[in-house]
């Protein structure tokens, strides 16, 4: 290893060396100075390690080509103009939005239906279904490229955004179901039973009483479906051949392909692709922790 890797390694070493002292989980609100140092010094390193790469991309996206300044001044939007119109990122962006929103809708509807069945009924074949779901976790992405290509070829969906929408929704389905089951189980059955006693049908009771309480679950499932569809690269690179149907990840891979040419444009493309997911994620990350606590992991 050359000395080029030194700065990141020092960061990580500092975190490691500070490790044993910091192991305490439930904190009191006010600690001693030592407590605070033991919290904030490693936290500062973690934040630096997380945020500097993002800053680096923003820096490249907003500073003129050829500049080596560490602050993007004078600021320029040339790189964005270049990739958005000339590079086709405007089209890629819309394609990505379309794929991600459709995948979000499918994941929520299928997840709500399947999740309700798994959480509220016991039926023959449920165990088998759950077992198949678990097994599918061992055969993702790259493995299924070949047969999926043939299926989509057979039904005439290659080079169609719908191949991505279906593929993304299916890959996301196990997580969608697991999260939804957790959230539905957290809604007490008594509430539903009370509505039935009042004469509601099962569907009516679900829509009127359960659905409003499931809002965090719907937000979580939808957001994760959106993020994963937005991010999917392998399906898109395999199934989409014409440039007007590229999604952002494929567009980026072509910018990367032009290696060593235009890092400003690459950074601008990266910013366009990363900003939506980061904003959505910042908004939903608490639902993720909540959803996993709701019993997903304990299955």
* Footprint on residues 188-227 left by other proteins (CB under 8 A): 189, 192-193, 196-197, 201-202, 227
Among 10, 12, 159, 243, binds other proteins (CB under 8 A): 12
**How far apart (Å, rounded) are the C-alpha atoms in residues 102 and 92?**
15
**Based on CB atoms, which residue is closest to other proteins, 50 or 242?**
50
Give the residue, chosen from 50, 74, 212, 242, that forms a contact with other proteins under the rule CB under 8 A.
50
Residues 270-289 that bind other proteins (CB under 8 A): 270, 273-274, 277-278, 280-282, 285-286, 288-289
> Which residues, 89 to 108, sit near other proteins by CB under 8 A?
none
Q: How many residues bind other proteins (CB under 8 A)?
A: 123
Of 74-82, 86-94, 109-117, 211-219, the segment contacting other proteins by CB under 8 A is 109-117
Find, among 282, 283, 254, 279, the residue nearest to 269 by Cα: 254
What would the DSSP string read from start to end of 44-95?
A: HHHHHHHHHHHHHHHHHHHSPTT---SS--S---HHHHIIIIIT-HHHHHHH
Collect all residues with Cβ–Cβ distance below 8 Å to 293 and sequence separation of at least 6. Answer: none
Q: How far is the CB of 170 from other proteins (least distance, A)?
A: 4
Q: Which of residues 14-33 bind other proteins (CB under 8 A)?
A: 15-16, 19-29
Minimum distance of other proteins from residue 74's CB (angstroms): 17
State in angstroms the smallest separation of the CB of 218 from other proteins. 16
Binders of other proteins among residues 111 to 170 (CB under 8 A) are 111, 113-114, 116-123, 125-127, 129-134, 136-151, 166-167, 169-170
Residue 298, Cβ neighbours under 10 Å: how many? 8
Q: Is the dihedral of CA 119, 124, 127, 130 positive or negative?
A: negative
Among 210, 218, 252, 287, binds other proteins (CB under 8 A): 252
Half-sphere exposure of 118 (CA within 13 A, CB side): 25
Could you say whether residue 254 binds other proteins (CB under 8 A)? no
DSSP3 helix / strand / coil % (the chain, rounded to 5): 75, 0, 25
Residues ≥6 apart with Cβ < 8 Å to 111: 173, 176, 177, 179, 180, 221
For other proteins, which is the closer residue by CB, 212 or 257?
Answer: 257
Q: Whose Cβ is closer to other proteins: residue 98's or residue 119's? A: 119
């Amino acid at each position: 290893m050359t000395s080029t890797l030194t700065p990141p390694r020092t960061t990580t070493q500092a975190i490691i060396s500070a490790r044993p002292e910091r192991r305490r989980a439930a904190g009191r609100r006010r600690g001693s100075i030592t407590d605070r140092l033991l919290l904030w010094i490693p936290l500062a390193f973690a934040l630096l390690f997380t945020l500097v790469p993002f800053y680096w991309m923003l820096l490249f996206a907003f500073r003129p080509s050829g500049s080596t300044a560490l602050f993007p001044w004078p600021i320029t939007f040339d790189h964005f103009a270049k990739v958005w119109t000339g590079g086709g990122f405007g089209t890629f962006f819309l394609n990505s939005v379309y794929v991600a929103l459709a995948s979000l809708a499918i994941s929520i509807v299928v997840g709500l239906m399947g999740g309700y069945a798994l959480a509220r009924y016991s039926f023959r074949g449920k165990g088998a279904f759950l077992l198949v779901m678990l097994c599918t976790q061992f055969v993702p992405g790259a493995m299924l490229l070949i047969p999926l290509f043939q299926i989509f070829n057979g039904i005439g969906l290659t080079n169609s955004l719908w191949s991505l929408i279906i593929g993304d929704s299916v890959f996301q389905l196990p997580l969608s179901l697991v999260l939804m089951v957790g959230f539905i189980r957290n809604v007490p059955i008594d509430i539903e039973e009370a509505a039935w006693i009042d004469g509601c049908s099962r569907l009516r009771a679900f829509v009127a009483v359960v659905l409003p309480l499931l809002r965090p679950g719907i937000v979580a499932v939808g957001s994760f479906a959106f993020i994963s569809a937005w991010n999917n690269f392998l399906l898109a690179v395999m199934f989409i051949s014409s440039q007007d149907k590229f999604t952002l990840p494929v567009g980026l891979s072509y910018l990367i392909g032009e290696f060593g040419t235009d890092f400003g444009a690459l950074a601008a493309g990266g910013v366009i692709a990363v900003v939506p997911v980061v904003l959505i994620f910042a908004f939903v990350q608490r639902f993720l922790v909540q959803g996993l606590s709701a019993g997903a992991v304990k299955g």
